[in-house]
């Protein structure tokens, strides 16, 4: 059954705490045995005192009782010692493992392909991390505090009571059997429903974090009521699914109670009758009464535990589902570590699709010499970003190969590939940390002077000096306290600090106003020197300075050449040029811009 498999898998996650776990397990087994031994010894002592059972042979003296009393005291002391051990270490262990599992999950998730992150909301990823690891901590704690002792008591020690008095023993076995059936039944009834409940929980997390990430939109479109309404409706659905589950488990717990009372009464009645007919001693009856009370306590624990495990299981299942997602982009066994690339790049018949159905890029081939600047132009959705994403292995192509300095990039270890490629994304993606820490992402050991230099080259110095705390100003979630253009300049500075031989600028200047962009343009030309640079841009000035232009149209490279060559060709590029990037430039530079293109073309 999947619940048991899951349970075993969670217990297998103990990792470096396996030894502590083993010691705690032994302590628990000891505790279970002690819990059984006490009523047995008690029963024997009573038999001696009442002159029942085998003890009837000799006179009862205090010294003849001593071995039994000492054994009893011994078990009592052991129970205290082992109890202290468990109390001290079970909690520590579960806290340690919870945080360790969380860190493993975090690392794993960060390595998962971007495709996973585009399709899974970060709110869900976070919820699964927190709830999954909490669930596991609860399980470990429970296992070392109660479950293991309960399992040992019910599966190993309970059958042994048949040897003590089989008639009374059978009553207990029947009781446990009934409990098992009842619990299994309730599990069956509620399994599917609880799966829905968990789905709703995840949806809640997604909705809430999606809304919290878009507060400005919600406020300006006065959607507060609508968003809250959506959340409430998910809550209503969740409760509708949860209530029947709760009712079933309430029934289970009441039935548990009732059958427990019934069993104790039956043992008493049966025991009395057996005693009167000489088939059980008073000690036997007392012993079975206390074993029954103890077992019932254990059984109630088990039922409560199965109930909770069942509620927590979907959380842990989701956790493992994500943990089992394999990173699609990973190092080959003999991947090379290359210190610094020269910067030659070649695409050979590269095709890629995100979903396996619609092509994002098809049969793209081109080669670039080290140090060149390549502009990628084309309508949105024509495949430019995808092409450059493949270069730093955000994804791997389905067919074709990409080589850097003649080596297939799949034969280069990921870390060295990505260390050699700087990317400035269209969306600047900054951390909610200080400006300094955001820059250090580019190079952890950068000095203050180097940071200032990078900021200056990215035209970012002046607005950072305006910040109250300078480099130590914290810029809010995703850099929200900065304007779009400021964010872009900061992310350019971050890439500059990395000083990579290959640089990718994916619409890195799209949020800048014409004046700033012009100033940055000069800086970027400086930046592009001595490295292979890929730029996706829509403005004439950037494109004009490129050594080569690749024109994308419907997932393919349809033209390639210098600006002059392409204008002379009068094909797709010339058409794009007239319609697209000449327009903003014309607005900024006046009506002379357009004739200048015509002049070049003629």
The enclosing H or E element of 347 equals strand 345-353
Q: Is 385 in the site for Mg ion (CB under 5 A)?
A: yes
State the number of CA atoms in the 13 A half-sphere of 547 facing the CB: 15
* Interface positions, 345-364, toward ligand ADP (CB under 6 A): 354, 360
* Interface positions, 434-463, toward ligand ADP (CB under 6 A): none
Q: Beta-strand (E) ranges in 331-420? A: 345-353, 359-368, 373-378, 399-404, 407-408
Residue with smaller CB distance to Mg ion, 292 or 537: 537
Residue 294 phi/psi, 5-degree rounding, is -65, -45
Q: Which does 194 bind (CB under 5 to 8 A by kind): ligand ADP, Mg ion, none?
A: none
Within 10 Å of residue 90's Cβ, how many Cβ atoms?
22
Give the span between the Cα atoms of 123 and 135, in whole angstroms. Answer: 18
Give the span between the Cα atoms of 385 and 426, in whole angstroms. Answer: 9
Give the span between the Cα atoms of 33 and 49, in whole angstroms. Answer: 24
From 38-46, 221-229, 377-385, 401-409, span contacting Mg ion (CB under 5 A): 377-385
Residue with smaller CB distance to Mg ion, 307 or 385: 385
Give the span between the Cα atoms of 520 and 458, in whole angstroms. Answer: 6
Residue with smaller CB distance to ligand ADP, 71 or 583: 583
- Give 597's contacts (C-beta < 8 A, 6+ positions apart): 540, 567, 577, 578, 582
Closest separation in Å from C-beta 586 to Mg ion: 23
* Interface positions, 291-330, toward ligand ADP (CB under 6 A): none
Q: Pattern of binders to ligand ADP over 96-125, x per CB under 6 A?
A: ----------------------x-------
From 41-49, 381-389, 430-438, 590-598, span contacting ligand ADP (CB under 6 A): 381-389
From 45-53, 345-353, 383-391, 586-594, span contacting Mg ion (CB under 5 A): 383-391
Residue 315 phi/psi, 5-degree rounding, is -65, -45
As to burial, measured by CB atoms within 10 angstroms (0-12 exposed, 13-18 middle, 19+ buried), residue 83 is middle
From 153-161, 196-204, 375-383, 542-550, span contacting ligand ADP (CB under 6 A): 375-383
Closest separation in Å from C-beta 381 to Mg ion: 8
Q: Is 554 in the site for ligand ADP (CB under 6 A)?
A: no
Helix H segments across 476-547? 484-498, 514-528, 540-544
From 215-223, 224-232, 385-393, 543-551, span contacting Mg ion (CB under 5 A): 385-393
Within 10 Å of residue 29's Cβ, how many Cβ atoms?
17
Q: What is the DSSP letter of 373?
A: E
Alpha-carbon dihedral angle through residues 470, 472, 478, 484, given to the nearest 10 degrees = 10
Closest separation in Å from C-beta 393 to ligand ADP: 15
From 80-88, 100-108, 311-319, 382-390, span contacting Mg ion (CB under 5 A): 382-390
Residue with smaller CB distance to Mg ion, 385 or 532: 385
Residue written as tokens 């003590």?
164
Whether the Cβ atoms of residue 334 and residue 358 lie closer than 8 Å to each other: no
Alpha-carbon dihedral angle through residues 310, 316, 317, 323, given to the nearest 10 degrees = -170
From 59-67, 157-165, 341-349, 378-386, span contacting ligand ADP (CB under 6 A): 378-386
Of residues 271, 383, 397, 479, which one binds ligand ADP by CB under 6 A? 383
Which residue is nearest to Mg ion, using beta carbons?
385
Residues in the chain: 602
Q: Which does 259 bind (CB under 5 to 8 A by kind): Mg ion, ligand ADP, none?
A: none
Residue with smaller CB distance to Mg ion, 435 or 537: 537
Q: Is 384 in the site for ligand ADP (CB under 6 A)?
A: yes
Q: Is 386 in the site for Mg ion (CB under 5 A)?
A: no
Of residues 159, 381, 579, 595, which one binds ligand ADP by CB under 6 A? 381
User: What's the alpha-carbon Rg for the chain, to the nearest Å?
Assistant: 36
Q: State the residues that interact with ligand ADP by CB under 6 A.
A: 118, 354, 360, 378, 380-386
Q: State the residues that interact with Mg ion by CB under 5 A.
A: 385
């Amino acid at each position: 059954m999947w619940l048991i498999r899951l349970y075993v898998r969670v217990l297998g996650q103990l990792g470096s705490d396996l030894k502590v776990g083993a010691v705690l397990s032994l302590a628990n087994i000891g505790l279970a045995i002690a819990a059984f031994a006490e009523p047995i010894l008690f029963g024997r002592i009573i038999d001696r005192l009442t002159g029942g059972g085998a003890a009837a042979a000799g006179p009862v003296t205090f010294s003849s009782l001593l071995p039994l009393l000492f054994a009893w005291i011994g078990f009592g002391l052991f129970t205290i010692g082992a109890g202290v051990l468990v109390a001290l270490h079970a909690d520590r262990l579960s806290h340690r493992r919870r945080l360790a599992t969380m860190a493993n999950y975090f690392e794993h998730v960060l390595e998962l392909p971007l495709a996973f992150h585009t399709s899974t909301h970060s709110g869900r990823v976070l919820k699964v991390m927190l709830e999954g690891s909490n669930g596991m901590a609860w399980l470990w704690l429970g296992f070392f505090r109660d479950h293991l002792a309960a399992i040992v008591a019910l599966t190993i020690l309970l059958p042994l009571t048949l040897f003590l008095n089989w008639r009374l023993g059978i009553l207990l076995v029947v009781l446990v059997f009934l409990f098992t059936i009842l619990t299994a039944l309730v599990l069956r009834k509620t399994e599917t429903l609880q799966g829905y409940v968990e789905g709703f929980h995840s949806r809640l997390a997604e909705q809430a974090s999606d809304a919290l990430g878009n507060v400005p939109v919600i406020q300006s479109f006065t959607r507060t009521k609508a968003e809250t309404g959506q959340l409430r409706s998910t809550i209503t659905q969740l409760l509708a699914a949860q209530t029947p589950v709760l009712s079933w488990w309430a029934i289970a717990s009441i039935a548990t109670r009732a059958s427990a009372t019934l069993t104790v009464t039956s043992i008493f009645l049966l025991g009395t009758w057996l005693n009167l007919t000489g088939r059980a001693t008073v000690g036997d009856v007392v012993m079975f009464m206390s074993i029954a009370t103890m077992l019932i306590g254990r059984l109630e624990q088990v039922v409560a535990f199965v109930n909770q495990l069942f509620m927590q299981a979907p959380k842990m299942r989701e956790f493992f589902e994500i943990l089992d997602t394999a990173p699609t982009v990973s190092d080959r066994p003999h991947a090379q570590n290359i210190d610094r690339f020269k910067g030659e790049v070649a695409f050979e018949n590269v095709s890629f699709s995100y979903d396996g159905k619609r092509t994002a890029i098809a049969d793209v081939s081109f080669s670039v010499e080290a140090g060149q600047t390549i502009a990628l132009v084309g309508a949105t959705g024509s495949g430019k970003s995808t092409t450059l994403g493949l270069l730093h292995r955000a994804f791997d192509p389905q067919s074709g190969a990409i080589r850097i300095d003649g080596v297939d990039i799949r034969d280069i270890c990921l870390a060295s590939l990505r260390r050699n490629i700087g990317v400035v994304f269209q969306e600047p993606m900054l951390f909610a940390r200080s400006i300094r820490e955001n820059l250090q992402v580019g190079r952890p050991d950068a000095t203050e002077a180097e940071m200032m230099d990078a900021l200056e080259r990215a035209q970012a110095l002046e607005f950072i000096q305006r910040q109250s705390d300078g480099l130590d100003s914290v810029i809010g979630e995703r850099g929200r306290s900065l304007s779009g253009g400021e964010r872009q300049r900061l992310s350019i500075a971050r890439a500059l600090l990395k000083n990579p031989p290959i640089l990718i600028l994916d619409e890195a200047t799209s949020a800048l106003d014409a004046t700033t962009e012009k100033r940055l343009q000069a800086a970027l030309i400086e930046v592009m020197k001595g490295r292979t640079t890929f730029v996706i841009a829509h403005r004439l000035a950037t494109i004009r300075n490129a050594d080569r232009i690749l024109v994308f149209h419907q997932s393919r490279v349809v033209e390639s050449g210098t600006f002059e060559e392409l204008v002379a060709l009068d094909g797709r590029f010339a058409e794009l040029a007239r319609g697209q990037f000449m327009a903003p430039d014309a607005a900024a530079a006046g009506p002379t811009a357009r004739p200048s293109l015509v002049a070049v073309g003629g």
